[in-house]
Amino acid sequence: MRATVAWWDLKGSGHSIESLRAYLREEAVDRFAAVEGLRLKFWIADPATERWGAVMLWESAQAAAQPLAPRAAELIGRTPVQYAVFDVEATVEGAHGMPVLPGLGLIPAA
């Protein structure tokens, strides 16, 4: 398995975390739900530093290497300031009472 992490600095981009939340609601969540080999994607934000990012967990190195439409970079107007690929050493899901992951977060499920 592989993990990828991307971070954007939104300062001066003309976009905010709130405007990118609209992108999540309107297209990103549904589009990434259909990506082959993607086990999990979650979007992250830090309003204090105006940073926006995503963490993706892939079933294989081949899946992680597939080209994806650069829609977030297109909207923000630049590539991420940081992009890293990691080998996944282990995974675990802890004990919890939450429902399944799809639809959780600040953006309500459709």
Residue appearing with tokens 């398995």:
1
Residue appearing with tokens 């892939």:
58
**109/27 Cα distance (integer angstroms):** 12
Q: Beta strand 51-58 with 82-87: parallel, antiparallel or unpaired?
A: unpaired
> Looking at residue 79, what DSSP letter applies?
-
Tens-level pLDDT at each residue, the chain (110 residues):
999 999 999 999 999 999 998 888 888 888 898 999 999 999 999 999 999 999 999 999 999 999 887 888 999 999 999 999 999 999 988 887 777 666 656 665 54
**61/66 Cα distance (integer angstroms):** 9
Beta bridge partners of 3: 57, 86
- pLDDT the model gives residue 106: 61
